[in-house]
Amino acid sequence: MIPTIVYYLVPTIVILITVRKYRESKWGKCKNNVKLTGKIVIVTGANSGIGYEISKELCKRGALVVMACRDKQKALTAIHKIQQELSTKNLVFMELNLASLSSIKAFADNFKSKFDKIDILVNNAGVSFDDSSNKVTEDGFEIHFGVNHLGHFFLTNLLLDKFVSGSRIIIVSSLLHQKGKIDFDNLNLEKPNEAKNLYANSKLANMYFCKELAKKVYKKGIKVYAVCPGWVLTNLFRNHTRRMLMYFIIIIPAAFLFMRSPKQGAQTPIFCATDPSIENESGCFYRDCRKFTSKVQKCDAISHELWSVSEKMLNDKGISLNSS
């Protein structure tokens, strides 16, 4: 005798798996096989989630990957894991805390003392907190703006003279940038009670940074791409304490249907880092391994101003980009 529940359970599971497979078929996959032997790569936030999978794949293709992480122990554990899987020695840890301007400077100096070029920089590290968290970086910048935008802005500028023609810079943004806003009167939370969508705002800043940077490095042959990895099950959501319960009750079942694995989330960044077909598309936004048209109208005035304001914020901390 087969219990009745089986008659419901089996079709339900089959339907769920079919829906999952259908969704997976729509998620872009990086299909090229471009080898990266002799290439030098930096991945920020390489110890976890999407950054970990990007590092592993680029290393597998022959690149030397510099794992730019803030936590040495976590980074070494990640390196050890990849080394065991790939039997490679091509991974190096270098400390980088994007919430600290002095750490970013020290990282750049350290990198430059050991390597004389960069082929691929993946600005992947990111944080997400509740809008009410009031978190700031070591230098007093609102945490999302400070880590997700300004830290990478500073890092990229410090490394700029090490890129060669054909080098690529990948900026990991998010579809959520479409919910963001660049309010120049409240970039650093000067009006705390208007704190809204701080994560999305920082991801919108990533988009404008991509546009402006692509223009500035065009003549040098350096290519810049912004990407959305998709909705990926990673550690990114761990800081939303109040939402933790909901996270376990709702997200985990939803995850089965809608969320990508970190490896699936890494596909578009890997595609943009390697695919020859997009070499003339610098400054564009990618999702699912193809160009994506954002709802946000690109606005040269905003990207230009964001660059100047970011530079000015660094100036106020005694940092001059041209002389560094």
Ligand X SMILES: *[C@@H]1O[C@H](CO)[C@@H](O)[C@H](O)[C@H]1NC(C)=O
Catalytic residue ranges: 199
Q: Which of 36, 101, 122, 127 binds ligand NAP (CB under 6 A)?
A: 127
d(CA 262, CA 234): 7
Amino acid at 313: M
Dihedrals φ, ψ of 64, to 5°? -90, 120
For ligand X, the closer of residues 164 and 246 by Cβ is 164
For ligand NAP, the closer of residues 40 and 170 by Cβ is 170
Question: Smallest distance from the beta carbon of 108 to ligand NAP, in angstroms?
Answer: 14
Residue 87 found at the interface with ligand X (CB under 6 A):
no
Q: Measured in whole angstroms, how far is the alpha carbon of residue 100 from the centre of its chain?
A: 18
Kindly write down the DSSP assignment for every residue of 159-187, as one continuous string. Answer: HGGGEEEEEEEEEE--GGGGG----TTST
Per CB under 6 A, contacts with ligand NAP among 195-234 are 228-229, 231-232, 234
Beta bridge partners of 164: none
231 binds, among ligand X, ligand NAP, none (CB under 5 to 8 A by kind): ligand NAP
274 binds, among ligand NAP, ligand X, none (CB under 5 to 8 A by kind): none
Site string for ligand NAP, 15-54 (x = CB under 6 A): -----------------------------xx-xxxxx---
| CA-wise closest residue to 153 among 285, 41, 53, 44 | 44
Alpha carbon separation from 324 to 101, 158, 245 (Å, rounded): 13, 7, 46
Site string for ligand X, 264-303 (x = CB under 6 A): ------------xx-xx-----------------------
Dihedrals φ, ψ of 236, to 5°? -55, -30
Question: Smallest distance from the beta carbon of 208 to ligand X, in angstroms?
Answer: 25
